[in-house]
Amino acid sequence: MQLRKLKNEDAPLMLEWMHDESVVAKLAANFAEKTIDDCNRFITWANETDTDLHLAVADENDTYMGTVSLKHLDRVAGTAEFAITVRACAMGKGFSHFGMDSILKKGISEEKLNAIYWCVSPKNERAVRFYDKHGYTRITAVPASILEAYPQEMELIWYVYTG
């Protein structure tokens, strides 16, 4: 398993998870409307931006298995938001744990972040079980700068990683 830059060749497999109801059913965004052009634009943008870090999780043959991200990198505050999505065929095979662990450590050591936050709907039981099983820290006090992107009425479980 490896983390690497996203490649245009990843777009069809990225679109695969976006159109897989078993993957996106509990996610907030409407991925079903995404096209291959959207995936290609995202990959291009991801490789050019310095406000976010989006990397592919790939297998030993360099096949794209999912994307891990540190979004809204705030180098002054030392914070970012974590996100991950993997293809259905990658679930239960260690790709999520590898990708998450790798990008969180990269955020602390290479990006010099102090804290990485993420949230999940309590309805997304698979994700909640995953985060809890791997010992990630649940929190209730979330910085206002992180919360501002989320509707206040939305019920969310928040996590933080500090290294």
Whether the per-residue pLDDT at 123 is higher than 90: the answer is no
DSSP symbols for 134-161: TTPEEES---HHHHTTS-TTS--EEEEE
Where residue 38 sits, what CATH number does that domain have? 3.40.630.30
- Quote the pLDDT of residue 121: 87
Alpha-carbon separation of residue 56 from 111, 124, 148, 156 (angstroms): 17, 23, 27, 26
How many separate domains does the chain show? 1
Alpha helices, DSSP H only, in 74-147?
95-109, 125-133, 144-147
Calpha distance 16→36 (Å, rounded) = 10
**pLDDT recorded at residue 110:** 94
How would residue 155 be classed by pLDDT, with cut points 50, 70 and 90?
confident
Report in angstroms the alpha-carbon separations of 130 from 19, 34, 57, 91, 124: 22, 26, 17, 11, 10
Handedness of CA 33, 100, 8, 88 (dihedral sign): negative
Q: Could you tell me if 145 and 74 are in contact, meaning their C-beta atoms sit under 8 angstroms apart?
A: yes
Predicted confidence band of residue 13 (pLDDT cuts 50, 70, 90): very high
Question: Domain range holding 152?
Answer: 2-161
Share of the chain above pLDDT 70, in %: 99
Is the pLDDT assigned to residue 27 strictly greater than 80?
Answer: no
Quote the pLDDT of residue 148.
82
For residues 121 and 124, give the distance between their C-alpha atoms in angstroms, rounded to a whole number: 5
> Quick one: tokens of 34?
């995404």
Q: Which residue has the higher pLDDT, 25 or 57?
A: 57
